[in-house]
Amino acid sequence: MRRFNTGLLGLMLATSASISAPAFAASPVDGIWKIDTATAKLSTKPDVVTIKDGTYSCTSCTPPYTVAADGKPHPVADREYWDAASVAVIDASTVEVSRYRKGTLIGTSKVAVSADGNMLTYTSTSADNAIGKSTSSTSMSKRVGPAPAGSHATSGSWQAVNDGAQVAEEILTATISMKDDMVTMTLGTGEHYTAKLGGPQVPFVGDKAGAKVALTKSGTGFVETDYVGGKAIGTYTYLPVDATTMTFKATNLKAGTTDEFTLKKQ
């Protein structure tokens, strides 16, 4: 979706606040922040996919879905940011998965398995963001379950690993400021909001699913909960560690997964 994302990247409920800083002092969350990808602690929940007999199935997806692997878009229900997918088998070790919204292509991932069959490399490209800029990323997963007999080599159970990730600068960065109980967030891809800690939901301007956000204070940081269609879909926790470092946790409430990173002030 979005968010240093995502959303890699892209999904925590807060505890009570500690003593506030004096009004004249800058908030410890103020600044331009960037994910340090080397610090990633990724969810261990595996992705389980099968391409066999002309059909692609993702049984680990929330909810699971199946489409024909014929390179054509097919409807997929119950997704916030896309509504159709196409899967094309390029060769014996490579497939291409694309997603669409209202008939428009919004992102493509080339998925390639290593010669030994134990690693997947995802190379993804999308311009589905507020500034309309094409961004790309590369990530990897290791095999944790075999491919079913007779299936494509990219089939099986796969777990994300923190190796070889290359992510566009815009996806990794955000500018944050907090004054009294108001927080302003602007992502590197242009989506932005200003919201009150403990206040009502506000629009996440530029978000492609029309998301709204609500904030809760947590220590010297805050927790953002994202809503689409009135349902909470994810939370993001920002907790300052010192003047130049924050802990960032992203929880996907639908999938039940959490990823954790360190943010570095730029």
Q: Which residues contact 25 (CB under 8 A, 6 or more apart)?
A: none
- What pLDDT, on the 0 to 100 scale, is given for residue 164? 77
Where along the chain do the CATH 2.40.128.20 domains lie?
Answer: 31-43+170-265
Longest CA–CA separation in the chain, Å: 66
- Ordered alpha helix ranges (H), 76-204: 169-172
Place of tokens 């491919």: 147
Long-range contacts: 96-99, Cβ < 8 Å, 24+? 96/71, 97/56, 98/73
- What pLDDT, on the 0 to 100 scale, is given for residue 110? 98
Q: Which residues contact 218 (CB under 8 A, 6 or more apart)?
A: 14, 15, 16, 17, 237, 239
- What pLDDT, on the 0 to 100 scale, is given for residue 16? 26
- What pLDDT, on the 0 to 100 scale, is given for residue 4? 41
- What pLDDT, on the 0 to 100 scale, is given for residue 26? 79
State how far Cα 198 lies from the chain centre. Answer: 24
Instruction: List per-residue pLDDT tens for the chain, 266 residues long.
Output: 344 443 333 322 222 222 223 333 479 999 999 999 999 999 999 999 999 999 999 999 999 999 999 999 999 999 999 999 999 999 999 999 999 999 999 999 999 999 999 999 999 999 999 999 999 999 999 999 999 999 999 999 999 998 878 999 999 999 999 999 999 999 999 999 999 999 999 999 999 999 999 999 999 999 999 999 999 999 999 999 999 999 999 999 999 999 999 999 99
Place of tokens 């999938």: 255
Cα–Cα distance measured from residue 120 to residue 148, given in angstroms and rounded to the nearest whole number: 16
Please give the CATH topology (third level) of the domain spanning 31-43+170-265.
Answer: Lipocalin (2.40.128)
Identify how many contiguous H helices and E strands the chain contains and give both numbers. 1, 20
